[in-house]
Amino acid sequence: MTVFGNRNRSRTMAQRIAFLASDAPLAQSGRDALIARYGTCDPEEAEVIVALGGDGFMLQTLHSTQDLDAPVYGMNRGTVGFLMNEYHEDDLLDRLALAEEEEINPLSMRATTASGDIHEALAINEVSMLRQGPQAAKLRIWIDERLRLDELVCDGALLSTPAGSTAYNYSAHGPILPIGSDVLALTAIAPFRPRRWRGALVRKSSVVRFEVMNPQKRPVMADADSRSVRDVVSVEVRSEPAVAHRILFDPGHGLEERLIREQFV
């Protein structure tokens, strides 16, 4: 993920608000309370979209509204809430007026299955290759059309953006990436061979291609932000600069600060 710049939003930009919420009762009750206080409109007419839920719902909202001009301000009514702001009802208009905006680029996944079908999807956090059965996956990894790893025996591998580097990537012992860095994290999931290989950093402009070795015996699925494709034989992943997700954060609580703070917990 690349931050294109933070900027204070004018108070007049928060007049038409669309409130969206996950199915969780806590999120639904929060949406009802906010609508009763501030009103609402359709996302297509909104100047700002407020998403209530957890990080999963925030990713869902960013994907579903990526063609709209309105930025998204998340309020945590879920569990972790890494991409969310704290939930408060009283001062929403003031918070929106002072919120700092960050723009992030997703990853583009192009997956080819054993039957020859091609599936495309965008991922804000990461694209993962995951073993589909009891056998370990065997992957071959190319970067910018150059073979870099002839055989990786593992439960899987993933390519993560800086925004997603504290999620699955971090759980798999991958590095936390600064928001301003023009790199992506390539991380192995439970690698068996090479046993000591823990991944690599690649340029944001790089094209990473995973090839599945012996897919009949060792089937693999690809996943882009929880949208899965089974029985893949190859997957190409690259950053997609043509798509920019706009996210609003309370001052001093943006992604850069959160990523730095995560490293000193």
The residues assigned a catalytic role are 55
Q: Is 155 annotated as a binding-site member? A: yes
Q: Is 56 annotated as a binding-site member? A: yes
Q: Is 126 annotated as a binding-site member? A: yes
Q: Is 38 annotated as a binding-site member? A: no
Q: Is 166 annotated as a binding-site member? A: yes
For residue 25, CA distances in Å to 8, 11, 19, 51, 158 come to 32, 30, 15, 14, 33
Half-sphere exposure of 82 (CA within 13 A, CB side): 19
Strand partners for 49 = 18, 72
Q: Is 150 annotated as a binding-site member? A: no
Q: Give the whole-angstrom CA distance, residue 89 versus residue 36.
A: 10
Q: Is 222 annotated as a binding-site member? A: no
Strand 100-104 and strand 118-123: the pairing is unpaired
Q: Is 29 annotated as a binding-site member? A: no
Strand 48-53 and strand 126-131: the pairing is unpaired
Binding residues: 55-56, 125-126, 155, 163, 166-171, 190
Binding residues for NAD(+): 55-56, 125-126, 155, 163, 166-171, 190
